[in-house]
Each structure stands twice: as C-alpha cells, then as structure tokens.
Structure 1
C-alpha cells in the first residue's frame, strides 16, 4: 500500500494591480498524506486546522471529489491526513493551497486522468479566479486568466535577487468581507490605470526590472478600498520604498502585506519599519523574509513498511 504525500505552497495574489490575475508562491505549505484503505477518513492535524471538519465535508476532501467529477470517475476510499503552515484568512492563499492539494491528491488516486491545465481549470472555476491557484499549482510567478473558453496562464521564473518580505498580522480578514467593500463600477481613468500598471508589472517581472516595481505595483482597483480594513496599510504602500522595499502590496485580500526586496541587501531596516507600523496601530504579528517557491505542488510516494514486509514473505 502506497502513501501519497502532496505538498502545495501558499501564494500571494494581485501584487498590486494584477487583481484576480497575478500571483506568486511562497514556501509555506499545506501537506496531505493520502493512503488508500477500506473506508474514508479525514484527519486534520495541528493548531491551524483546529475546528475544521474531520469528515467528507472537509474542503480538502471536497476538492478531491472535484477531480473525480471532472474525470467522470468515483473517488476510492482513503485516509487523508491534512496539515498546514499557511495561516488561515490572512491573504496567503490558504484555501487555494487546500484546494490545489486536494485536486492533485484526487488526480493521483485516480491514476492521473487530468493534465495540469485541466487541474488548473477545475481549481480556478471553484475559486472563481486563478490568481492564487495557478502559483500554488505551478510555483513561481504566474499570470492567468479565466473565461468561458478555459483557464490560460504564463508562468515566469522569479527574477534574480527578488525576495519577498511578508507582514502577517495576528488577525483574520475574510475574503468575502474584503470583496464586499469594493465598488461595483470604476471610472475609465481607474480602468486605464489598472491595465497599464498590471501590464508594466508583468513586463518588469518577466525582464527582471526590479527598478520598476515601486511604480508598477500602484493600484486603485482594490487596495485603496481595503485599506480601512488593514490598519497601517496606506502608510506601508506609500513609505515602504523609503525603508528598503522595492515595492509593496496587500497580499490577496489581506491582512498580510507583501514587500519585494533585493536579496543582496539587508532587510533589517525594512523589518524595523514594518514592526513600527504594527506598533503604531496597536497590532502584533510576524515579519518573514521568504524566497519565491519555484516548484509548486509536489507529489511523493512512500511504500508502507508493513506492506513491504508482507511482500517479502
């Protein structure tokens, strides 16, 4: 009997103007251990998953069933153990990591009936947008679109010397709440601003133009509307470049804030600034330097020892 281990990374979406279409992966992981057996068991492990369903209503298991539905097959029973390093409701793609890990796990159990593009399409349609699920699946930096014809993407290797600093506050912010504050209509000027800056950001990342990130990451579509939900965000967006950041953005729906930095430079000054912003606003949280994960979701197989012993007999 083989145990599958599936590891899907966290992700940061939007990166400023790339609303619902641009994201990158970072090395905080949701990990599944899936072992075929006679009856299905779902086992959430660890403090991050305390209180999540320990049955087939769990989001990970429902994601596994999405693969079976797309493939027109029946999901075989299995023990599914779930762990995560990704903080929930913080803007780091916790639901996307769970969704992608479950879809990939289901695909492995069924003998891989879906290719990568099909798995991305399943994930993007379930989430409603591809900005988190695409980097969670493929790693790196991903530009992706979702329309009635399918899900389309371009994956970029991270530019040399580009690192990520994240400020993860100790409070949750639901995506639904963060979306509820967005306007239903935008002016032509704001639309042009969004399109031009998203295009410049994608081009800058593809060509390693780190000098352009501060300008390219400006956004009027979602960040200015969400700023009241994240104390200190406006200050960071305006001032982080004065303290060593190459650019700054709200990570996904927040409240995590992402800053790009040059890995050849010391980030102590940036860390001190981010902690000072939290202190000024009465917040606590973590500041982490992270590389961009280049691998995406990984699958390994391990033969159980007891089965190996039985086979030897």
Structure 2
C-alpha cells in the first residue's frame, strides 16, 4: 500500500451534555489539538507538547497511537511504524473532550495515511468503541451541534446547524476531575419528575441551539446529573449557580469541572469581576486560578491534510 508521506490532523475540543442533554448532546468548539504523523520504521516515536506533556505515555499505549492502530485495522491497512507529534491545546481532564479529540484525531490520521476519504459516520462508530460513549466523539468528528445515541453497542450521531453567532465562554479550573469519578457519583435511579423535566428541557435545547437562542437560559436547566456531581467539583457548581443567578445560561461542561456559558456573539455582555455586587446581565471574569476561553463553534469537526494538500475538505 502506498502511504502518504506525512499527515496533519486538526481536531476540536468539545462540550457534552450542555445541561439536560446527558450523554447525548455535543458541541464542537474552536480550540484545537493538532497531530502530525509521519510513517516509517518499525515502531512508534511520540512527542507531546502542550497539555499532557510529561504526563502521558510515549509508546504504543498512547491514546492517539491506539486510535491510529484501530483506524488502520478497520481500513485493512498495516503501518509498522510512524512518528507522532501532538500539539495539545485542549486541557486534559477538564470536561472539554481531550480524550475524544485524541481518539477522533488518531482515527482520522489513519484515513489520511492511507489516502482514504474520511467516513465521519464510521469515525463515530470506531471512536465510540474506544471511548465508551458517543457524545463528545460525535461533535469532534462532525462539528457543530450533535445528537448522539447508541444502537446496541454502535455509536450513531446526527449533526444540526447551530444558530448563527452561537458562542461559548469556558471557565477552566486548574484542577482536574476524572470522568469515572464524576460518573461514580450519579445515582442508579432518579425521580420520575426530574427525568420528565430533563426530557422537556433537552427537547427545548435543540430549538434554542439551532434557532431560538433567547430560550437558552430555560433550556439549559438540568436535574439529572450536575447537582449529584457537586461533591467532586463544588467550586464549579458554585460558579454555575452564580452565573445562572445573573441570568446567564451556564452549565457544567461534560463531566466537569469546566463551566460553560452559552451565548450569541452579537449580544453585548458586560464583563464583571466575580466579587461585583452588580452582576445582572454581566459575564464574570474567571476566578483566581482559572482560565477563561472565548470560543466559537467549530463547524466542520476533525480535518485531515496530507502534506500541503487536504485529503478531504468540506
């Protein structure tokens, strides 16, 4: 098989759940990890700069390497060795889909290495097999606003066009929360009234994100998971309550601890310090020790280029 000599991949951060859309909704954000894969030799060489540098494995157990291998196997291709460079801007362990970006990026790189046109639905299927749930991987693969589900064990997703100008403000703390820790706090059952309320809010959120952004505050109400996770991230839930108390549609991003505020870029939102006594209609600055990202919605999802030429361009 003739392999492309070098492949570059750009894959976005994602936010899942978005309040009531637990394990189903995802949004692709304009913050990216970039991968460069160069085939050759008989083993793997991994270089990581940015988030995760000095922490993650640099061998076959690296998540991107595993995803590349899974993608190649699915395509019936064998690449004995390659060099992988990861430039990571998505914070690890913060609820912005860093693991999903690694998985989707690695699978997409396999398509690029073999020169195969990217099959995004298949990427979602493969990524779900590795990640275990499809919400973040769907948004990373498809871009925009996604609704994901599983048929048996097969990950599925559809992409919807977000409202023009939809944007997000991410408040990212310096501490991490493991997804399995956050999931471990969820009860085995919830009151029927809470489940019914979440179903209604999730349906409303589809409309709010695609055509009725004035409904975002009501549509992002959640009774299913955020409050149960408060012991693992009390500062995050305190920030959610403070922002929502000032009229801003704030949610926990994914499993947390990042807090996300959904807004429309054309809206004029005042930026005020958290300690201000007048926060009505204002958007607070990041708390001490946190970072604040102003992000757009990534429309295309993962992108792949071979050398100077794109393997696939929307």
Q: Which residue of 2 aligns with 1:265?
A: 267
- Once the two structures are TM-superposed, the CA of residue 76 in structure 1 deviates from its matched residue by 4.2
- Measured after TM superposition, the shift of residue 179 of structure 1 is 0.6
RMSD, aligned α-carbons? 2.3
Q: Kindly provide the CA deviation profile for residues 146-187 of structure 1, in whole angstroms up to 9, marking residues without a partner as x.
A: 121733322122212321001001111110111111111122
1:104 corresponds to which of 103, 108, 111: 108
Per-residue deviation, 1:52: 1.4
8 Å Cα contact 1:271/1:287 also seen in 2: no
Stretches of structure 1 lacking an aligned partner (at least 5 in a row)? 305-313
Stretch deviating more after TM superposition (133-142 or 36-45): 36-45
SS of 1:134 mapped into structure 2: helix
Which residue number corresponds to residue 40 of structure 2? 37
Instruction: Indicate conservation of the 8 Å contact 2:50/2:89, yes or no.
Output: no
Residues 1:14 and 2:17 aligned together: yes
More helix per residue: 1
The question of 1:148 aligning with 2:157 is answered no
Q: Distance in 2 between matches of 1:86 and 1:114?
A: 23
Q: Report how far residue 277 of structure 1 moved.
A: 7.7
**1:17 and 1:219 in contact (8 A); partners too:** yes
Does residue 216 in structure 1 map to residue 229 in structure 2? no
Residues 159 and 205, structure 1, Cα contact 8 Å, conserved in 2: yes
Structure 1 contact 13–132 (Cα < 8 Å) conserved: yes
Tell me how far 1:7 sits from its aligned partner.
Answer: 0.8
The alignment status of 1:248 with 2:250, answered yes or no, reads: yes
- Deviation of the 1:262 alpha carbon: 2.6
List, as ranges, runs of 4+ consecutive aligned residues in structure 1 with deviation greater than 6 Å.
none
**Unmatched tracts of structure 2, length 5 or more:** 310-314
Q: Which moved more, 1:227-236 or 1:114-123?
A: 227-236
Q: Aligned pair 1:203/2:207, yes or no?
A: yes
**Structure 2 length as normaliser, TM-score?**
0.87
User: Structure 1 residue 81 and structure 2 residue 85: aligned?
Assistant: yes
User: Is the 8 Å Cα contact of residues 275 and 287 (structure 1) preserved in structure 2?
Assistant: no
Aligned residues: 298
2:287 aligns with 278
Q: Determine the C-alpha separation between the residues in 1 that align with 2:153 and 2:171.
A: 37
Query: Is the CA contact (8 Å cut-off) linking 2:243 and 2:284 kept in structure 1?
Result: no
Equivalences for residues 153-164 of structure 1 within 5 A: 153-164=157-168
Partners of 1:265 and 1:216 in 2: CA distance: 18
Counterpart secondary structure, 2:32: strand
| 2:173 paired with 1:169 | yes
Query: What is the CA-CA distance between 1:114 and the residue it aligns to?
Result: 6.7
Tell me how far apart the structure 2 counterparts of residues 267 and 41 of structure 1 sit (CA, whole Å). 48
Partner of 1:53: 57
Shift of 1:205: 1.6
TM-score with structure 1 length normalisation? 0.88
Measured in 1, the distance between the counterparts of 2:191 and 2:72 equals 43
* C-alpha distance in structure 2 between counterparts of 1:75 and 1:38, whole Å: 9
Give the distance between the partners of 2:222 and 2:72, measured in 1 at CA.
Answer: 39
C-alpha distance in 1 between matches for 2:19 and 2:109? 32
